[in-house]
Amino acid sequence: MTHLPTGPRARPSTFDLVNGALMLLVLIVTVYPFLNVLAIALNQSQDTVRGGITVFPRHPTLDNFRAIFAYGNIPQAFFISVARTVIGTVLSLGACAMVAYVLSRRDFLGRGLLSRFLAITLYVSGGLIPGFLLIRDLHLMNTFWVYILPTLINAFNIFMIRSYMDELPVELQESARIDGANDLVIFVRIILPLCAPVLATVALFIAVGQWNSWFDTYLYNSSSPQLSTLQFELMKILQSTQSGADAMHSSELKTQQITPDSIKMAITIITITPILVVYPFLQRYFVAGMTLGAVKG
């Protein structure tokens, strides 16, 4: 990556300038939509209708956000989204790490079998409709657990954690065993703390997946409004205004002088904020994790 002459004396060539300009363009194209949405969400609703909002709000206000939290199902959906993300991430990370640890033990008697059993799921899946019928037959429809159970075990995450565990020195486990620790104690006390970087990466993947998921709500829980998620509510609002059936013009909004557009933008901001908050902290982990996978593979 650093094969170019660096140092203070190297003057930027035409190539550097063109390249820099291109990269700046990529930066703007990526960031502008987010800034625009943020500006509209923070701008007075009636004023936004006049148009011309770019990256700064013209009449800053938090009214749109206040309106959301009084609007329909949004507070409950926010709670469910947080709950599924927290519970789903903790359980799935714990389960995947546990299976990864068992797989990392070279002396485990079912090692080859378990490994193949998991790898097959990466390539073959039953598809949409058999999956749907299974969930229905298991009576998981209209339950919270439909968010957690089907994706609890993920072979890709397991293999990622396992390859990290494989690099840990075996001697640590051996000395713990001499001290009388059993496999579960070794896993919790010794292995897990050492795996913090890879666990952070996998936790980010699981959490983002849970937070962003809307299709399972659509498919399995759409007749249980109390189990709705933020993404699904956003999706319903977007779809209803796009198809012209303006369900958003309910009386609760009219009294507050808030337009559907402002509500959409405010919910969008609520939906992406948690990701923006954790992203900078976890960024270096996932880049390192993906890099390791790439160089090895």
Partner 1 sequence: MHSSGLSPAARSRAEPRRRPRLLKRAHEQRYLLAMSLPFVALVFVFNYVPIWGWLMAFQRYRPGRPFFEQQWVGLKNFTDLFQDETFYLALKNTLGMSVLGLILGFTLPIIFALLLNEMRAGLFKRTVQTVSYLPHFVSWVVVAGLVYKMLSTDGGPINQLIAHFGGPPVQFMAHSNYFWGVVVLSDLWKEIGWNTIIYLAVMTAIEPALYEAARVDGAGRWQLMRHITLPGISRVVIILFVLSIGHLTAIGFEKQLLLSNPVVKDSALVLDLYALQNGIGMNKFSFGTAIGVVNSLVGLALLFGANAFFRRKTGDSII
Q: Which of 42, 68, 74, 98 binds partner 1 (CB under 8 A)?
A: 98
Residue 30 touching partner 1 (CB under 8 A): yes
Residue 162 touching partner 1 (CB under 8 A): no
Residue 82 touching partner 1 (CB under 8 A): no
Residue 52 touching partner 1 (CB under 8 A): yes
Q: How far is the CB of 262 from partner 1 (least distance, A)?
A: 12
Q: How far is the CB of 185 from partner 1 (least distance, A)?
A: 9
Give the closest residue to 195 by CA, choosing from 157, 226, 168: 168
How many other C-beta atoms are found inside a 10 Å radius of the C-beta of residue 135? 18
Give the closest residue to 81 by CA, choosing from 291, 272, 281: 272
Q: Kindly state the DSSP code that residue 250 receives in the 8-state scheme.
A: -
Q: Which of 71, 78, 101, 285 binds partner 1 (CB under 8 A)?
A: 101
State the amino acid at position 287 in one-letter form. V
Q: Which of 2, 223, 251, 255 binds partner 1 (CB under 8 A)?
A: 2
Q: How far is the CB of 163 from partner 1 (least distance, A)?
A: 15
Residue 168 touching partner 1 (CB under 8 A): no
* Torsion angles phi and psi, residue 53, rounded to 5: -80, 125
Q: Which stretch binds partner 1 (CB under 8 A): 160-168, 194-202, 233-241, 246-254?
A: 233-241
Q: Which of 4, 8, 169, 171 binds partner 1 (CB under 8 A)?
A: 4
Q: Which stretch binds partner 1 (CB under 8 A): 61-69, 147-155, 168-176, 190-198?
A: 147-155
- Please list every residue from 119 through 138 that binds partner 1, using CB under 8 A: 121, 124-134, 138
Sequence-distant (≥ 6) Cβ neighbours of residue 170 within 8 angstroms: none
Q: Which is nearer to partner 1, 204 or 253 (CB)?
A: 204
Q: Which of 105, 141, 176, 190 binds partner 1 (CB under 8 A)?
A: 105
Report CA-CA distances (Å) from 47 to 115, 127, 257.
59, 47, 10
Residue 71 touching partner 1 (CB under 8 A): no
Binding mask 189-208 for partner 1 (x = CB under 8 A): -------------------x
Residue 223 touching partner 1 (CB under 8 A): no
Q: State the DSSP string of 25-77.
A: HHHHHHHHHHHHHHHHHTB-HHHHTT----SS-SSB-SHHHHHHTTSTTHHHH
Q: Which is nearer to partner 1, 234 or 253 (CB)?
A: 234
Q: Rounded to an integer, what distance in angstroms lies between the CA atom of residue 190 and that of residue 200?
A: 16
Q: Rounded to an integer, what distance in angstroms lies between the CA atom of residue 132 and that of residue 186?
A: 39
How many other C-beta atoms are found inside a 10 Å radius of the C-beta of residue 143? 16
Residue 169 touching partner 1 (CB under 8 A): no
Residue 34 touching partner 1 (CB under 8 A): yes
- β-pair partners for 43: 60
Q: Match 């956003």 to its residue by tokens.
A: 234
Residue 3 touching partner 1 (CB under 8 A): yes
State the amino acid at position 230 in one-letter form. L
Residue 285 touching partner 1 (CB under 8 A): no
Residue 153 touching partner 1 (CB under 8 A): yes
- β-pair partners for 60: 43
